[in-house]
Amino acid sequence: MWSTVEIAPGAWFIQRDWLSCNHFVAKTPHVTLIDTGYKGDIEETVAALRSLGVAPEEVELIVNTHCHCDHAGGNRFILDRSSCKVWMHAREKLRIDRRDDIGTWWRFHDTWAEFFDVDRGIEEDEEIPFGALTLRAIYAPGHSSGLMVLYCEELKALFSADVIWQGDMGVINPIVEGDDALERAMQTLDRLAHMAIETVYPGHGSIIAKPQPVISRLRRKLEHFAKDPMAMHMDHMKKMIAYILLTKGGMPEATFFDYLMSGVWYPTLVQRYYESAYQAAYQSAMEQTVRSKMITRSNGYLYGVSSDK
């Protein structure tokens, strides 16, 4: 499902469910789409665009906050139907340029997208015209080492990608993003906490009208992770189990453990942080993910739950 909100003349926020990210669309000075969503969800993405009078063929610029599959998975579809340009942060561009399917998380988490070419690597403080607004790029590492958020001074608004959601934030993944990923995520929140932000348009979930208490709450969560890194690793497992089940449309519970063991992320994470106790870590993660209502069981199948947190 999706809904639209006009945030300024000729500029819109599109809220999606949790399989695809939220989008931003502007018709001037170029038809611009910020983040394209998950490739398996592209029909709904196109429907949302068409509701605003924008066809895929008319897109002139894609701006990606980062290259994870739920934010850049629709790029290839749009590119195949238009002559648009693609911009993202310079650090993230390197991963696409190198066709790095681990750094993008695509092979690492078995959450795939198709590679594409990036025309421009955005740097700190570069400005992007967006309808009647101007968006300023802010480097925001943590969840991804190449993640950027976009700040609109006219509205005192932040397009926050996976740095800030209403009740949570994106996974912290030190295996791919480096052992300092948590520290960088904390520094990013500290920086945002000192900015004049009155509204947050997140990468997932609903608009945040009073962001400072949310930022403070997320900062406390990261402080907890710093004191208890195993809580961070369990958060990683729970979120990825739920998201993978969403992308797969559900999977048989009898074979789900074997599926996880056949991939990259789960064995690697358990080897590094759980002393290779694969079954014990699986049982703990599944119990907590079910208890958190992030997944459900039905007739021998597991399903991810798509909801606003």
Average pLDDT of the residues in 170-187: 98
Per DSSP, the three-state class of 70 is helix
Question: At residue 309, does pLDDT exceed 70?
Answer: no
- Looking at 189-243, which runs of residues are DSSP E strands? 199-202
175-181 contact pairs (CB < 8 A, 24+):
175/108, 175/265, 175/268, 175/269, 175/272, 176/102, 176/103, 176/105, 176/108, 177/141, 177/142, 177/143, 177/144, 177/145, 178/145, 181/141, 181/142, 181/143, 181/145
Structure tokens at 41: 């969800």
Question: At residue 16, does pLDDT exceed 80?
Answer: yes
Who contacts 77 (Cβ-Cβ below 8 Å, separation ≥6)?
Answer: 36, 39, 42, 56
Nearest by Cα to 202 from 146, 245, 140:
140
What pLDDT, in 10s, does the model give residues 49-63?
999 999 999 999 999
Average pLDDT of the residues in 303-308: 77
**Helices and strands in the chain: count of H runs, count of E runs:** 11, 15
- Determine whether 1 is exposed, middle or buried from the number of CB atoms within 10 Å of its CB (0-12, 13-18, 19+): exposed
- Is 162 within 8 Å of 66 (Cβ atoms)? yes
Average pLDDT of the residues in 87-101: 98
What pLDDT, in 10s, does the model give residues 279-294?
999 999 999 999 999 9
Phi-psi region of 105 (alpha: psi -120 to 50; beta: other; left: phi over 0): left
How many residues can be counted in the chain?
309
Query: Could you give the CA distance from residue 166 to residue 74 in angstroms, rounded to a whole number?
Result: 24
The pLDDT mean for the chain works out to: 97
Please give the pLDDT value at position 306.
77
Helical H runs in 34-89? 42-51, 69-72, 75-81
Structure tokens at 12: 């819109």
What pLDDT, in 10s, does the model give residues 217-230?
999 999 999 999 99
Average pLDDT of the residues in 115-125: 98
Please give the pLDDT value at position 307.
57
Which pTM was predicted? 0.96
Element (H, E) at 265: helix 265-273
With cut-offs at 50, 70 and 90, classify the pLDDT of residue 167: confident
Please give the pLDDT value at position 1.
85
Please give the pLDDT value at position 95.
98
Average pLDDT of the residues in 99-115: 98
